[in-house]
Structure 1
Amino acid sequence: MLLPLLVILVLSNAVESNGQERGGQCTNSLTLDPRPHSVSILEFGAVGDGKTLNTIAFQNAIFYLKSFADKGGAQLYVPPGKWLTGSFNLTSHLTLFLERGAVILGSQDPSHWEVIEPLPSYGRGIELPGGRYRSLINGYMLRDVVITGDNGTINGQGSVWWDWFTSHSLNYSRPHLVEFLASTNVVVSNLTFLNAPAYNIHPVYCSNVRVQNISVYAPPESPYTVGIVPDSSDSTCIEDCSIAMGHDAIALKSGWDEYGIAYGRPTTNVHIRRVNLQSSSGSSLAFGSEMSGGISNVCVEQVHLYNSFSGIEFRTTKGRGGYIQEIIISDVAMENIHTAFSATGQIGSHPDDHFDPNALPVLDHITLQNVIGTNITIAGSFTGIQESPFTSICLSNISLSTTPPASISWVCSNVSGFSQWVFPEPCPSLESSLLNSSSTCLSRLNSSPTQTAVL
């Protein structure tokens, strides 16, 4: 079989170059290099009938391609068909390419998903104490890895996992579709992700990650399904994606209570742009609540948030420690959102009883500007922590149409900041004329993107 080697291109150079820019700045174009070696999954006995289990075929193919790592890398080509598989691991200098019409199906037999140790920054599984199921496609301590295609599909067939989760039938936390652990120079692009058991794409302890031009979907009733979750990772670019999930569309995290504090790796230098986000029960764009390693230096621009319970939400609680700071969100179009902006210091559970209740999180230097919203129920709800108030919340050029017109559009406590050209008029604590608050916000607003959001 003559594979389309010349048009299946490596995108890793773009990640390596853009990762050094402040705020995870996305480059406008990708540097493309061909992989010199390519094989088809058919060569390893795979059968694309949607019934035959192909885990061993994927494992053998990747083991074979590992030998080309020092020869310019290699590509594993997945042709049209339905390729049922359990969990498998990738290797460095590899491109996994899904042709149009190719569907990788996650097995609905939990014995095909290995149980592994929890992440050290969490100390236990997110949903249950103890271990967790390994993700469908995994990368551990890899470099230069691409998962791409001509709009091929990765379908987790997560309905059985949602039923087990809802009925409390699981002994371990649910798996994700794609997880990269401690890896660098990673690209995920030009694919559709469907029906993940939990998260879809989870880079954790990674550097230089680019997620581009993907579609992600799970039905509204799917419990706590999440689209993209940058977790204790730096230099991440997410752009040109459409995500509609049961819970959060994009959620930034960095570890859980004492485990995240001890691990101490923040999520930083993140750039998100030109995305369409929908969240049925959670937030289109969420920060936390697991943020004990810190989240900082995040730029979000040119985003469309719709049909969601919450538009933009910052979550934390006592015992988290860590910080959420230096966040700039600009050029946002919202429609049909219950709460446009939310920041709360009273949300989220604890992994165990060993957390320090005096580990107080910090939330400050948050800029929200150039926002247009229609059919909004509550403009903003900011409820900080009495011992650690939320500070330097900067609001500018925001126009929200509430339906029906609310007598109380903003709810605030233990929060301070500055606002200009905001409708409906925010809480007095967010209209501060104090010199420090206004000068800090004005300097940030003047240095931020200034385009106006258009629905």
Structure 2
Amino acid sequence: MKPIRLFIAGDSTAAFYPQERSPMAGWGQMIGRYFTSSVNVVNEARNGRSSKSFIDEGHLNRIVDAMAEGDYLLIQFGHNDQKLEKERRTEPFGSYQMYLKMYIDAARDAGAIPILLTPVQRRQFDDMGTFVPSHGEYPEAVRQLAQKEGVACIDLCALSGQRLVSLGSDGSKSLFVRLRPDEHPNYPNGSEDDTHFNESGAREIALLVREGLMRAGLPISDYLTRENPIPHWVMPEVLLPDIPDRTFRLTDFGAVGDGLTDNTGAFRRAIQACSEAGGGKLIIPPGIWLTGPLKLASRLELHTEEGAVVRFSTMFDDYPLISSSYEGIGAVRCQSPLDAEEQVHIAITGKGVFDGGGDAWRPVKKGKMTELQWKQLLRGGGTTDEEGDMWWPSEAAMQGSAIVDRLNREGVKDVSAFMPARDYLRPNLLSFRRCRNILLDGPTFQNSPAWCLHPWASKHVTIRNVTVRNPWYSQNGDGLDLDSCSYAVVEHCTFDVGDDAICLKSGKDEAGRMLGLPCEYVTIKNCVVYHGHGGFTIGSEMSGGVRYVSLSDCTFIGTDIGIRFKSARGRGGIVENISISRIRMIDIPGEAISFNLFYEGMEGSGVAQHEKKPVNEGTPIFRNIEIIDVSCTGAKTALLINGLPEMPLEQLYVHNVTAAAEQGVVCHHAKRLVLEQIDLRVKDGPLVILDQCEQVELIRLYEAGAAADERHVLIKGACSAAVDAIR
């Protein structure tokens, strides 16, 4: 069957924008994803054109030359028809209607079907927050012309206005190109554009056009695909700390930056003075500042000047035991080097380095080191287990696990009872618990005893321009763990760590479900990960839920897995409304994209199983996830799904993925799965394996750029009978 072509004649709100204009986007560059491969979108919309100037410049003629019987023409103008310049200006019930009729006639002469659209609304609200329509009589002129000429009309003015009103003055900002200075490299001076959409807004308007086509009942609506699985959500404003304009210098409190002097007392005196004054900035000048753990206070900014290294003590006796949280449950731990609890307005800024002295704490697996490195480690002291495969810094550290397990089984809450295991209870470099208005901006955080950055149960967290480093062999050497946090932005950061790099968590098993604090409203963008078990990870501790997450414009180089979702029976919790876009990956040893509900170390050792278990509060749910515009050069598997047979991964939309991998797509137990515009270069096996999957759509599947068909898909299992044919 000859493909149907959908031509678009319009202005900047519908136009296609190149990468250098990102995140600006027109709805016309998004509408194609809502059609099957039987419809080709030809977007001729042009920035700055009115219904008149579009014709005068010859753009309509180009469409006419290409258009044929059975095609469609979407016509949307109005923004620029209101301009005063004579080259663009038209009058609503005069020349505007006259020019629009020229489009209608041109389409009909070619045997095509014209469709009029009213202009999309600008974002305009008055001082009282009331929406103000922006197009005067032009929308009504379109409606009347459509009725007179007997053509379909999509009232995008009304539809977009309703959407803006529902979002409100603040919420609607999320649809437009509104950026702070230096927030995006394409807009170094920022942007406050209330006319042009960002990519999220363009998708939203494209969905309204889709709705209009369905309401019109035209034959082309038969080729519309499913609705986007991710509902539109508004990222709330993440509030920065409010630090008083008051400065203190560490050296004024007796500190010496020679790398030998213990500055713990000087730091504590400086923090106390700052706190008693009502807050301010504590400046740490160039030098090596040796110190014990620091307890931060409200309205405090630690500012490290370039050349400053804060090196934390490697003497275990310097670290008191406290009640904290680790791996999703309440736990006794050594106080973190950077520690805060129930504080507000905290900032750590500058170009300095915070070194956690983690080599003194961490156990090391022999298999992660060369023979020479292992021998050097043994010569430095410590002890090894009976098998000789694990080095520990002390006998107490090696025996600590058994002591802690016994005390937890007995329900012991007395912190002092855990003292014999202190060497084992290594701290995270940064632990902020139940804090608000946190900013980390600029420094390097490295060499942590355990996880590097761990905000827990905190709100309004901004992490930007930081570097996070842990040795690749470090046990539990996570980079960032946002744990049960709300309203967080992570941007322009670099990670090179020994475990998951950027990880979202929300508690573990029953304890996490009882606490019920989801990790939600999180935006992560423009980050680079050089090493880690996962570039971006959700789980496995996700029992309180993870939702409303956006990951975009990130690069993962050599991470064990690229995009990683993990959980297991017993966790419970819901992971939903996750949007991932524009991710680049290189040399991934494992899966580029992985959903594994049989997480390694739990039941099944990471391998999918087919025996159904009863659904209960411990059954994890993963649903409503979109992954768009991903490229991967080198991976073991392009996409792996190991869902639970009793609770399949549901409503996953994967669009525009290009990957070179040993295997293609391997899916076990997925439901309402859409794989659209997938281009794979694989070494072994079929492009797609579907095992016990339901309601699957395969749209525009390619092998090395050439169209693929049913021969490239292996379907197994009774449930897979509902798989749609490749389109």
Q: TM bucket by the smaller chain?
A: 0.7 to 0.9
Of 191, 215, 223, which residue of structure 1 is paired with 2:443?
A: 191
Deviations for 1:375-432, whole angstroms, at most 9, x for unmatched residues?
2221121101122111111100000012xxx3x4232211231110012344446996
Higher relative contact order (CA 8 A, sep 6+): 1
Identify which of 357, 379, 390 aligns with 1:157. 357
Shifted more, 31-40 versus 241-250: the winner is 31-40
Per-residue CA deviations over 1:173-206 (Å, capped at 9, x if unaligned) read 3211112111111100111112111122111111
Q: Letter of the aligned partner of 1:361 in structure 2?
A: P
Any idea what the Cα deviations from partners look like across 1:120-179, whole Å, max 9, x if unmatched?
Answer: 994444xxxxx1111111121111111001x10001121111237853525243211112
Whether contact under 8 Å (2:441, 2:464) holds in the other structure is: yes
The CA deviation at 1:285 is: 0.8
CA, structure 1 residues 107+175, in 2 after alignment: closer, same or farther (shift >3 Å)?
A: same
1:67 alignment partner, one of 267, 276, 279: 276
Aligned ranges for residues 401-440 of structure 1 at < 5 Å? 401-402=660-661, 406=662, 408-416=663-671, 417-424=673-680, 425-428=687-690
What is the 5 A alignment of 1:262-277? 262-277=514-529
> Does the 8 Å contact 1:96/1:146 carry over to 2?
yes
CA 1:298–1:32 in 2, change beyond 3 Å: closer, same or farther? closer
- Whether 1:48 aligns to 2:244 is no
Q: 1:289 is matched with which residue: 522, 540, 549?
A: 540
Q: Report the CA distance shift for 1:253/1:22 in structure 2 as closer, same or farther (over 3 A).
A: farther
User: 1:114 and 2:370 equivalent?
Assistant: no
Native 8 Å contact 1:418 1:431 kept in 2: no
Residue from 297, 309, 317 that aligns with 1:91? 297
Matched, 1:370 2:626: no
Q: Tell me how far apart the structure 2 counterparts of residues 206 and 32 of structure 1 sit (CA, whole Å).
A: 13
1:318 maps to 569
Please list the CA deviations of residues 36-78 of structure 1 after superposition, one character each: whole Å capped at 9, or x if unmatched: 3211111211121112221121111111111122xxx311111
Q: Figure out how many residues of one structure are paired with residues of the other and give that number.
A: 400
Instruction: Please state whether the residue corresponding to 2:317 is helix, strand or coil.
Output: helix
Query: Any conservation in 2 of the 1:26–1:271 contact (CA below 8 Å)?
Result: no
Task: Structure 1 unaligned segments of length 5 or more: list them.
Answer: 1-17, 126-130, 351-355, 439-455
CA contact (8 A) 2:669 2:692 kept: no
Secondary structure of the structure 1 residue equivalent to 2:361: helix
Distance 1:372 1:119 in 2: 36
Correspondent of 2:500 among 245, 248, 270: 248
In the aligned structure 1, how far is the partner of 2:431 from the partner of 2:476? Answer: 17
Instruction: Tell me whether 393-402 or 39-48 shows the greater mean CA deviation.
Output: 39-48
Q: Which residue of 2 aligns with 1:5?
A: none
- Measured in 2, the distance between the counterparts of 1:116 and 1:433 equals 50
Distance 1:357 1:349 in 2: 21
Q: Specify the alignment match of 2:245 in structure 1.
A: 36
Question: Partner residue of 2:721?
Answer: none
> Is contact 1:157-1:196 (8 Å) kept?
yes
Please identify which structure carries the higher helix content: 2
Instruction: Give the alignment's TM-score, normalised by structure 1.
Output: 0.82
8 A contact 1:207–1:234 mirrored in 2: yes
Q: Secondary structure at the match of 1:188?
A: strand
Aligned residue in 1 for 2:472: 220
Most deviating of 408-417 and 176-185? 408-417
Contact 1:276 1:305 in 2 (8 A): yes
Output the CA distance in 2 between the equivalents of 1:175 and 1:20. 42
Which residue of 346, 352, 360 corresponds with 1:145?
346
Q: Structure 1 residue 216: deviation in Å? A: 1.2
**Aligned with 1:359 (options 618, 626, 633):** 618
For the 8 Å contact 1:120–1:259, the answer to whether it is kept is no
For residue 108 of structure 1, report the CA deviation from its aligned partner: 0.6
Cα deviation, residue 434, structure 1? 5.9
**Counterpart residue identity of residue 675, structure 2:** S
Q: Distance in 2 between matches of 1:19 and 1:106?
A: 43
Q: Is the 8 A contact 2:576 2:623 kept in 1?
A: yes
Contact 1:20 1:235 in 2 (8 A): no
- What are the within-5 Å matches in structure 2 for residues 5-20 of structure 1? none
Q: 1:285 to 1:32 in 2, by over 3 A?
A: closer
- Say whether the 8 Å CA contact 2:241–2:439 is kept in structure 1: no
Alpha-carbon distance in 2 for matches of 1:22, 1:319? 37
Amino acid at match of 1:318: R
CA offsets 1:287-343 (integer angstroms, 9 cap, x no match) = 010011100000000000111110011011111111111111100111001210111
**Does structure 1 retain, via aligned residues, the 8 Å contact 2:241–2:299?**
no
1:433 deviation in Å?
A: 5.5
- For the Cα contact (< 8 Å) 1:114–1:134, is it kept in 2? yes
Over the aligned positions, Cα root-mean-square deviation in angstroms equals 2.9
Which one is further off, 249-258 or 34-43? 34-43
Establish whether residue 132 from structure 1 lines up as the match of residue 333 from structure 2: yes
Q: Partners of 2:271 and 2:241 in 1: how far apart? A: 22
Structure 2, unaligned stretches of length 5 or more?
Answer: 1-169, 184-239, 365-389, 401-420, 603-614, 681-686, 700-727
- AA aligned to 1:141 is E
Q: Aligned to 1:229, what secondary structure does the other structure show?
A: strand
Residues in 2 aligned to 1:359 and 1:344: alpha-carbon distance in whole angstroms: 16
* CA apart distance, 1:33: 7.6
TM norm structure 2: 0.52
Tell me the SS of whatever aligns to 2:479.
strand
Q: Secondary structure at the match of 1:308?
A: coil
Q: Which residue of 2 aligns with 1:397?
A: 656
Checking the alignment, whether the CA contact within 8 Å between 2:241 and 2:345 is kept in structure 1 is no
Identical columns (%): 29
Cα distance in 1 between the residues matched to 2:171 and 2:290: 34
Alignment check: 8 A CA contact 1:216 1:243 kept: yes
- Structure 1 pair 33–230 and aligned structure 2 pair: CA distance change class (3 A): closer
1:89, distance to aligned residue in structure 2 (A)? 0.9
Cα 1:223–1:19 change in 2 (3 A) is farther
Q: Secondary structure at the match of 1:198?
A: coil
Q: How does 1:434-453 map to 2 (within 5 A)?
A: none
Residues 118, 21 of structure 1: alpha-carbon distance in 2 compared, 3 angstrom cutoff:
farther
- 1:240 and 1:375 map into 2 onto residues whose CA distance is 24
Residues 1:20 and 1:297: Cα distance change in structure 2 (over 3 Å): farther
Counterpart Cα distance in 1 of 2:593 and 2:562 = 6
C-alpha contact 2:643 2:670 (8 A) present in aligned 1 = yes
Moved over 3 A (4+): 18-23, 29-35, 120-125, 163-166, 425-435
TM-superposed deviation, 1:241: 0.5
Aligned AA (1:152): G
